[in-house]
Chain A
Amino acid sequence: MRFGLVHRAMTDALAFLGVLSLVVGGQFSRPLSIFILASLALAIGLKEKWRQRLSQRHVDAVSTAILIATQLGRAFFTSASVLDLLIEFAVGLQVIRVATRNGAAHDQQVIVLALLHLIAGTVVGGGLGYGLCLLGLIVVTPGALVLSHLRREVEGNYRQGARDRTGLPVDVPRILRSKRVVGKQFIAVTCLLALPILLFTATLFVVFPRVGLSLLLLQKPRGERMIGFSGTVNLGQIGTLRSDPTIALRVTIPNLPDPPPARRMMYLRGTALDQYDGRTWTQSSRSLRTLASAGELVRITGTPAPDEAPWRVELEPFEPPVLFVTPTTKAIELSKTGNITPGLSLQLQTGPEGEFRYQAPSDRMVRYDIYPSESGEPNFTRLRGSQRGRYLEIADALPPRIAELAAEWTRDANTDFERAKIIESRLRTEFEYDLASPSGSEAQPLDHFLFESKRGHCEYFSSAMAVMLRSVQVPARNVTGFVGGTYNKYGRFYAVRQGDAHSWVEAFIEGRGWLSFDPTPPGSAEPQSEMDGALASFRDFFEAVSQRWNQNVLGYDLAQQVSLFDSLDLRDSSSLRGLKAPRRRVAVAALGLALVGSGLYWLYRRRRRAKAGSSGDARVTRDALTAARLYRLLDRAMAAAGVRRFDSVPPLGHALALERRGHPLSSEIRSLTERYLAARFGNVPLTDEEQRDFERRARWLQRAPHGSGSNATRADTVETLETVEDPSKPGRTFDPSTRRHRSHSSPPATTVSSSTEGVSSYELEAATGATDPESDSNERLGRRAALETPVISINVDLGDEASPPPSEVESD
């Protein structure tokens, strides 16, 4: 894979994930999200030449200036939040940068912006979607960072005029087009870096002390987090909620039958409204009273038994911050959060209509336990005489025929309870459920509902019943909350969605208290967006994972941390002992298997290496390569001394021949040759001292008096390219000019080249044995290249295991 292409793909992925972490956090409206994603996709898909053209025409600077001006204008002339504007600006900047990037510096800016998006995502979101984006980022980030760094190094080091070992100018585009710098293995390794990073991240996340100082809370205002439930009821507005599948709360119920019912009609009361002006229900009083702090049990009608398991409710952030309880709840307890936040704590409050509210230091999910009453006793049993009047008030604007209708329906009833049941029954049977009731647009929607359209949703029914009850002198109020709950088999909880929002009536029946009545036709309160089949299963799985994420990641606090460390305390091995026997066996077996597997793998690798070594396929050792270099020196010295060795003569044969002829240098040459052979083929290592000694003796040979005169000069200035035996392929020689092996029988290729003082830039690859004396050709090439280099000679290795010939590098 091409270096530049992989680098671009990884940087693009990083940019995309950064923006996506904001989009899935619900930071932007749907149209804006679509616009941003489309713009980013367009920027990513731009061709390179278009990017360069945009960059050259300073489109980035102009676009950024326009973006800054727009955001400043919005900040001054609209009520938009500064945080929102900044986040939008950061996203816009990313789109501009991706569209106009040109070079490693711009790529690094893309990475930094993606990181900033991720940081912003923690403020505005943090849900499972964000978690998935973070996971993707952890996988992609190492690769993107590594490649960006390498590209920056390439651009920084390979300056104008630098040349590689082939003598060709090193140009960055050529390296970026190269397929040899980044291979599949490289990508796999960089992506696998995600594993240790993930491990480190998880460890640091778990061990980092959760001490919230709350010096500067940078969180979005709560109003923005509202998910649909409201403190008022305006007839005609609930229709949008009925199709919203967003989870509002999760209820975990203990001791469920097996299998648990797929849908359970739970009435979860939020708040009650006592004042109706003919269209809107509101609360006449807003007084709040603190009942208890988190962790304290609040008794409503009774005390739960010590072994009684409560219903555990996990509530998404709401505005108003109301706790939803069943109408027959005897006690409630707000769960503590483990975070230490000085001056702020989670508190339970009660409102004027008996609703429970919470006051939280942060905008997080709230957990609480409720204890339903087995006897079905209502939460509220008393009504003061002074309060009775406000539950009987009827708006003056209401037509009198509503009261007449109520009187007509309840003519035969003797008690308030009978009156309530009759009205409930008549509404349930004689009226239709319709989310798109035409009554909402009328001046008197309730009158129109009862006498004209006879169609409406739950708020019409509950409003009608409450008003009719009041007209027959039964105290009543409109209650809002949720009804329903779909069982999630993965998370083992009942999911209550926005679509389950409902409205019903509470009527005060003397001697029994505030009783709930639901005049909405049964079956009509089902959420409109209910799905089934594989889609529902997938949704349930996602929601279950999301719940775990919320519980264990977003909700991880000091209490959980302490509890976790307590359970991990191995001083008395209680954690292991605490495990049940089968689990303990599984843990021990897994550990043993991992150890055995690691050992087997180590043995396999060792054996494989040994096998490779014994098969003669082993690579040339470092000592062998050093020896080859030293012998090259000796070869030159012998040539200078007038006893040049020809290609066809093996080193030892040459030394022996000299000895036979009684040459005065023969003993020294033989000694050096034997040392060379021992290091080259006998695996006898060369110490640094021996190397220096070899070099010193070879130089002495070169200056020996026998080699004086014109011959020495000739030998110094004219060299013949020689071939040597390739150790990896006995019986064959390696020709560096063609980088091919040939048999000894073929005549060696000779090249004459003038020798210059200086050094070369060339590559020695052990894999091919190219470090033998034959690599002189490379050296000479490199010498010429290096001497032409104005500042620094640079070596570019575009090869992997086996280095390609220079021509191949060029053709990349």
Chain B
Amino acid sequence: MRRKHWERRLKFTREGKYFLGITLGVGLAAINTGNNPLYLLLGMMLSLIIVSGVMSELSLRKLSVRRRLPKRAQVGRAHLVEIEVWNDKEQVPSYAIEVEDLRADQPADKRCFFLKISPRSTQVAAYRRTPQRRGIERHSGFRVATRFPFGLFEKSRELDVDEELIVYPAVDPVRLPLRGRGDSSGDVGPVGRGLGEETYAIRLMREGDDPRDIYWRKSTVPGQLVMRERAHELRHDVHLRLDDLRPLPLPSSLSSEEAFEQRIRDVASLAVAHIQRGDRVTILTASGKRIVGDKSRGLDPVLRFLALIEQVEGAPPSIEVGGSLSVIGETAA
């Protein structure tokens, strides 16, 4: 449900409660004694409250907030969320603005503070956050608050700015088993040229060559550009199996969810390690889902797949716990 732009929340601060208490006391004393200076004082204190309300409204008005999320986030790894606040007012600066980033309608534990936002300008601040769960993190909006001008109460408004951040599963360092002959030299095959990362040979540049392959270190003679020929690479195909079926309740120290998360973490760690080594990784789930990743596609598709996968109901309990690895064969890259 969209929030109305005029909706405000008001909360008295500790100082505000004291001030209100004193004001009520003065009011009672004034009514009791009929002492006109007390009425004056009461008027002044109530006026301060009214002016405070008007000023805080001025400070909050015409503020818009935008969030800049990182391109990727990972469980257990800190990232920064950038908060940009615009003051669209013509003349009036906004003071002492606090912005809370709301996630799934729950206040965030971090706030960004802006001492002064000049009229018709913007300011950016950021807060650091470490996600604890993989999956889609929904940022629903912002709570913009100020205690300006007197700190008597905190006025806030909420803005709807929906955004999603996909949090990848955590990845642990994995020591992969050594490959067979030739593996340790970067999978360079003994035959011919290819499109691998390693250098196969060096020769003078010819017409039609991709200029991106110019070997600048050797191209010192004017007019004689030297090309770097790439070697043919062999690539391992790795299949990882992931059990995404919800098991029946079993006497275990780990709950089903925790065990599933642990499996995802294991599979993610293996997948990342393999892809970084140059292997092509295929992840197969028990429910039939599949994703293929390799170095050319990067880690994102695989991690995104693992970030969004959920347990499936209604299947027999899985015997294996954790990810299983099987090397199917070798493919030319």
Mark each residue of chain A from 106 to 143: 1 if its CB lies under 8 Å from any CB of chain B, else 0.
00100010010011011101100011001001100110
Q: Is B125 an interface residue (CB 8 A)?
A: yes
Which residues of chain B are within 8 angstroms of A554 by Cβ–Cβ distance? 36-37
Q: Knowing A204-B42, A792-B111, A797-B118 touch, does A708 contact B123 (C-beta < 8 A)? A: no
Q: Knowing A757-B72, A786-B126 touch, does A122 contact B115 (C-beta < 8 A)? A: no
Query: How many A residues have CB within 8 A of the partner chain?
Result: 97
**Shortest Cβ distance from B150 into chain A, in angstroms?**
4
Q: Which of A69-128 contact B (CB under 8 A)?
A: 108, 112, 115, 118-119, 121-123, 125-126
Q: B38–A765 contact, CB under 8 A?
A: no
Q: B122–A766 contact, CB under 8 A?
A: yes
Q: A211–B48 contact, CB under 8 A?
A: no
Which residues of chain A are within 8 angstroms of B114 by Cβ–Cβ distance? 795, 797
Cα(A751)–Cα(B112), bound, Å: 30
Q: Is B57 an interface residue (CB 8 A)?
A: no
Which residues of chain B are within 8 angstroms of A709 by Cβ–Cβ distance? 212
Cα(A175)–Cα(B115), bound, Å: 10
Partner of B43, one of A131, A208, A782: A208
Q: A130–B82 contact, CB under 8 A?
A: no
**Shortest Cβ distance from B84 into chain A, in angstroms?**
8
Cα(A1)–Cα(B120), bound, Å: 23
Q: B123–A205 contact, CB under 8 A?
A: no
Q: Which residue of chain A has its CB nearest to the CB of B13?
A: A149
Interface centre among B31, B37, B112, B148 (most CB of A within 10 A): B37
Q: Knowing A145-B149, A149-B151 touch, does A212 contact B79 (C-beta < 8 A)? A: no
Q: Which residue of chain A has its CB nearest to the CB of B114?
A: A795
Q: A142–B48 contact, CB under 8 A?
A: yes
Q: A121–B37 contact, CB under 8 A?
A: yes
Q: B149–A142 contact, CB under 8 A?
A: yes
Which residues of chain B are within 8 angstroms of A797 by Cβ–Cβ distance? 114-118, 123
A-B interface contact total, Cβ < 8 Å: 232
Cα(A760)–Cα(B124), bound, Å: 8
Which residues of chain A are within 8 angstroms of B47 by Cβ–Cβ distance? 196-201, 204
Q: Knowing A200-B46, A761-B125 touch, does A153 contact B113 (C-beta < 8 A)? A: yes
Q: A149–B125 contact, CB under 8 A?
A: no
Q: Knowing A145-B150, A218-B33 touch, does A771 contact B122 (C-beta < 8 A)? A: yes
Q: Knowing A134-B44, A153-B147, A622-B86 touch, does A792 contact B110 (C-beta < 8 A)? A: yes
Mark each residue of chain A from 140 to 174: 1 if its CB lies under 8 Å from any CB of chain B, else 0.
01100110111011100100000000000000000
Q: Which residue of chain B has its CB nearest to the CB of A765?
A: B121
Which residues of chain A are within 8 angstroms of B113 by Cβ–Cβ distance? 153, 157, 792, 794
Which residues of chain B are within 8 angstroms of A764 by Cβ–Cβ distance? 84, 121-124
Q: A760–B36 contact, CB under 8 A?
A: no
Q: Knowing A134-B37, A553-B40, A757-B71 touch, does A141 contact B48 (C-beta < 8 A)? A: yes
Q: Is A556 an interface residue (CB 8 A)?
A: yes
Which residues of chain B are within 8 angstroms of A118 by Cβ–Cβ distance? 41
Partner of A210, one of B34, B72, B81: B34
Q: Knowing A134-B44, A759-B68, A764-B121 touch, does A115 contact B151 (C-beta < 8 A)? A: no
Partner of A793, one of B38, B40, B80: B80
Q: Which of B46-69 contact A (CB under 8 A)?
A: 46-48, 50-51, 54-55, 68
Q: Is B127 an interface residue (CB 8 A)?
A: yes
Q: Which residue of chain A has its CB nearest to the CB of B95?
A: A150
Cα(A765)–Cα(B18), bound, Å: 39
Q: B18–A112 contact, CB under 8 A?
A: yes
Cα(A142)–Cα(B45), bound, Å: 11
Interface centre among B29, B44, B113 (most CB of A within 10 A): B44
Q: Is A767 an interface residue (CB 8 A)?
A: yes
Q: B46–A204 contact, CB under 8 A?
A: yes
Q: Knowing A126-B37, A212-B33 touch, does A766 contact B124 (C-beta < 8 A)? A: no
Which residues of chain B are within 8 angstroms of A121 by Cβ–Cβ distance? 37
Q: Knowing A145-B48, A149-B147, A799-B118 touch, does A711 contact B123 (C-beta < 8 A)? A: no
**Shortest Cβ distance from A651 into chain B, in angstroms?**
22
Which residues of chain A are within 8 angstroms of B40 by Cβ–Cβ distance? 122, 131, 134, 201, 205, 553
**Shortest Cβ distance from A200 into chain B, in angstroms?**
3
Cα(A801)–Cα(B34), bound, Å: 49
Interface centre among B36, B42, B48 (most CB of A within 10 A): B36
Which residues of chain B are within 8 angstroms of A212 by Cβ–Cβ distance? 31-34
Q: Which residue of chain A has its CB nearest to the CB of B15?
A: A108
Which residues of chain A are within 8 angstroms of B70 by Cβ–Cβ distance? 757-759
Q: Is A62 an interface residue (CB 8 A)?
A: no
Q: A217–B32 contact, CB under 8 A?
A: yes
Q: Which residue of chain B has its CB nearest to the CB of A793?
A: B126
Q: Knowing A153-B96, A196-B51, A767-B121 touch, does A205 contact B43 (C-beta < 8 A)? A: yes
Q: Is A625 an interface residue (CB 8 A)?
A: yes
Q: B88–A146 contact, CB under 8 A?
A: no
Q: B36–A126 contact, CB under 8 A?
A: yes
Q: B80–A786 contact, CB under 8 A?
A: yes
Q: Is A341 an interface residue (CB 8 A)?
A: yes
Interface centre among A146, A201, A759 (most CB of B within 10 A): A759
Q: Which residue of chain B has its CB nearest to the CB of A558?
A: B34
Partner of B33, one of A141, A219, A625, A782: A219
Partner of B51, one of A125, A193, A609, A799: A193
Q: Knowing A146-B149, A766-B120 touch, does A153 contact B35 (C-beta < 8 A)? A: no
Q: Is B39 an interface residue (CB 8 A)?
A: yes
**Shortest Cβ distance from B13 into chain A, in angstroms?**
9
Interface centre among B30, B116, B124 (most CB of A within 10 A): B124
Q: Knowing A150-B115, A213-B31 touch, does A711 contact B212 (C-beta < 8 A)? A: yes
Q: Is A216 an interface residue (CB 8 A)?
A: yes
Q: Which residue of chain A has its CB nearest to the CB of B34?
A: A212
Q: B37–A130 contact, CB under 8 A?
A: yes
Q: Is B22 an interface residue (CB 8 A)?
A: yes
Q: Is B128 an interface residue (CB 8 A)?
A: yes
Q: Is A214 an interface residue (CB 8 A)?
A: yes
Q: Knowing A619-B120, A797-B123, A800-B118 touch, does A214 contact B151 (C-beta < 8 A)? A: no
Q: Knowing A711-B212, A760-B124, A801-B118 touch, does A215 contact B35 (C-beta < 8 A)? A: no
**Shortest Cβ distance from A443 into chain B, in angstroms?**
48
Cα(A373)–Cα(B86), bound, Å: 79
Q: A792–B149 contact, CB under 8 A?
A: no
Q: Is B296 an interface residue (CB 8 A)?
A: yes
Q: Is B26 an interface residue (CB 8 A)?
A: yes
**Shortest Cβ distance from A327 into chain B, in angstroms?**
35
Interface centre among B29, B72, B125 (most CB of A within 10 A): B125
Q: Which of A198-240 contact B (CB under 8 A)?
A: 198-205, 208, 210-219
Which residues of chain A are within 8 angstroms of B34 by Cβ–Cβ distance? 210-212, 214, 339, 341, 362, 557
Partner of A214, one of B18, B33, B37, B111: B33
**Shortest Cβ distance from B305 into chain A, in angstroms?**
16
Cα(A791)–Cα(B88), bound, Å: 29
Cα(A303)–Cα(B30), bound, Å: 40
Mark each residue of chain B from 201 to 244: 1 if its CB lies under 8 Å from any CB of chain A, else 0.
00000000000100000000000000000000000000000000
Mark each residue of chain A from 179 to 203: 1 if its CB lies under 8 Å from any CB of chain B, else 0.
0010000000010010011111111
Q: Is A787 an interface residue (CB 8 A)?
A: yes
Cα(A146)–Cα(B149), bound, Å: 5
Q: B38–A122 contact, CB under 8 A?
A: yes
Which residues of chain B are within 8 angstroms of A807 by Cβ–Cβ distance? none
Q: Is A244 an interface residue (CB 8 A)?
A: no
Ordered by A's residue number, 18 sampled pairs between the chains whose C-beta atoms are within 8 Å are: A122-B38, A137-B44, A146-B149, A150-B96, A153-B115, A153-B147, A197-B44, A200-B43, A200-B51, A201-B40, A201-B46, A204-B43, A208-B43, A557-B34, A761-B82, A764-B123, A793-B112, A793-B126
Instruction: Name 13 extra pairs, CB < 8 A, besides A150-B96, A204-B39.
Output: A122-B35, A141-B44, A142-B150, A153-B113, A154-B115, A181-B115, A200-B43, A210-B39, A757-B70, A763-B122, A786-B126, A786-B128, A796-B115
